[in-house]
């Protein structure tokens, strides 16, 4: 008995609206009624479900799960293996999305609870479990995530890192 395996590189719904200069890497999924802005990158094995909105100049790394009703702003970075949720008390038929405002950074393997808003210019540290809204211009980390310091201090640390040998 012979088996035939058909490999499908990507699935992008015909009902999705895709902006200009969008790069969607191998084995990614984009569902119905999703809107993706211009200059967006979606990494391999990412799952962008239905009714998602992603702004311009946003980078979604590989293995990310973005559930229905999620709203992601412009210039956002979502690191590898991030999981967003949309059901605060699973399993339920009542869903609510995550909102990530402009210029936010979400570190690798962070988990963000349904209904949470990540404020503009904020950073969620890698591995954080975010159960409450993240204020604008702050860095949160830990389990559960708590404010660690300001975005201004983060920018200084990032600059020091870039300038070190």
Domain annotation covers residue 1? no
Domain annotation covers residue 3? no
On whether the CB atoms of residues 50 and 13 are closer than 8 A, the answer is yes
For residue 135, give the CATH number of its domain: 2.160.10.10
Q: Give pLDDT, residue 9.
A: 77
**pLDDT-derived band at 8, boundaries 50, 70, 90:** low
Which domain, by its residues, includes 107?
11-163
The residue written with tokens 């890192």 in the block is 161
pLDDT per residue as tens digits for the range 61-104: 999 999 999 999 999 999 999 999 999 999 999 999 999 999 99
Q: What's the number of domains the chain is made of?
A: 1
**pLDDT-derived band at 165, boundaries 50, 70, 90:** confident
For the residues 122-128, what does the mean pLDDT come to?
98
User: 145: how many CB neighbours lie within 10 A of its CB?
Assistant: 24
CB-facing half-sphere around the CA of 86: CA atoms within 13 A: 18
Angle in degrees, CA 12, 15, 17, rounded to 5: 80
Domain annotation covers residue 6? no
Name the DSSP letter for residue 90: S
């Amino acid at each position: 008995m012979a088996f035939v395996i058909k490999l499908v590189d990507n699935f992008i719904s015909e009902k999705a609206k895709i902006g200009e200069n969008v790069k969607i890497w191998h084995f990614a999924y984009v569902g119905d009624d999703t809107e993706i802005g211009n200059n967006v990158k979606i990494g391999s094995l990412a799952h962008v479900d239905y009714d998602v909105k992603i702004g311009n100049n946003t980078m979604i790394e590989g293995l990310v799960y973005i559930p229905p009703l999620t709203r992601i702003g412009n210039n956002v970075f979502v690191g590898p293996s991030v999981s967003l949720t949309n059901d605060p008390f699973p399993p339920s038929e009542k869903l609510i999305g995550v909102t990530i405002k402009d210029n936010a950074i979400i570190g690798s393997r962070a988990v963000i609870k349904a209904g949470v808003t990540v404020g503009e210019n904020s950073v969620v540290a890698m591995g954080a479990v975010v159960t409450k809204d993240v204020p604008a211009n702050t860095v949160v980390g830990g389990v559960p995530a708590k404010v660690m310091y300001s975005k201004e201090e983060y920018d200084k640390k990032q600059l020091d890192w870039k300038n070190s040998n």
